[in-house]
């Protein structure tokens, strides 16, 4: 774990099993929606019980999650082509240990393109941008994505990612 980043550190993850172990003691981006009360799949009390060791975390690798993992590289590549930008797959765990929070990212763009900055004026030439990939079915998109904006639980996740990394935009 690199700790020369002040409050922030980066843990290198060997594989998914290692990643699951490393992230266990932290509040993660996925947990942020639960804490904010906008995760319809987990309660605050359930998260508390898991994080305090009073209950074991049950993980069911559902088909929709498997599909999402399979499509993530394709979605990432399409986003890079859409924005005419280069990005790398980020497999690290970004940690703010003093705050007991951590996050994982999909892709990171270290140099935004002109197209990206034109579409999103808040992005500056020196911004580091997170590309968060989501596979959304038509019904979920129609019911949850208002005015082409992601639902609140995804916005919580992305805000948590920005807080953990210190990056500029997602």
CB 137 within 8 A of CB 67: no
pTM of the model: 0.87
d(CA 112, CA 39): 31
> For residue 30, which of 68, 3, 2 has the smallest C-alpha distance?
68
pLDDT digit string (tens) for the chain, length 170 residues: 344 444 578 999 988 889 888 988 999 998 999 999 999 889 999 999 999 999 988 877 888 888 988 999 999 999 999 999 999 999 999 999 888 999 999 999 999 999 999 989 999 999 999 999 988 878 887 888 888 789 999 999 999 999 999 998 99
Q: How much is the pLDDT for 125? A: 95
What pLDDT score was predicted for residue 61?
Answer: 82
User: Where would I find the beta strands (DSSP E) of the chain?
Assistant: 2-5, 8-11, 88-89, 93-96, 101-104, 107-109, 129-131
Residue 169's beta-bridge partner residues? 129
Give pLDDT, residue 160: 96
The pLDDT of residue 117: 94
Q: So what's the pLDDT on residue 2?
A: 41
Question: For position 7, what pLDDT does the model report?
Answer: 58
């Amino acid at each position: 774990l690199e700790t020369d980043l002040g409050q922030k550190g980066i843990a290198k993850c060997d594989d998914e099993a290692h990643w699951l172990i490393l992230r266990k003691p932290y509040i993660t981006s996925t947990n942020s929606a639960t804490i904010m009360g906008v995760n319809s799949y987990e309660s605050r009390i359930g998260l508390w019980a898991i994080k305090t060791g009073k209950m074991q975390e049950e993980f069911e690798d559902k088909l929709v999650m498997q599909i999402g993992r399979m499509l993530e590289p394709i979605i990432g590549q399409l986003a890079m082509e859409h924005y005419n930008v280069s990005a790398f797959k980020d497999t690290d765990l970004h940690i703010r240990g003093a705050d007991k929070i951590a996050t994982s990212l999909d892709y990171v763009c270290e140099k935004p393109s002109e197209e990206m900055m034109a579409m999103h004026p808040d992005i500056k030439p020196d911004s580091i941008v997170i590309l968060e990939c989501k596979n959304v079915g038509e019904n979920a998109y129609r019911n949850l994505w208002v005015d082409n904006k992601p639902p609140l639980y995804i916005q919580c996740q992305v805000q948590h990612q920005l807080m953990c990394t210190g990056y500029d935009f997602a």
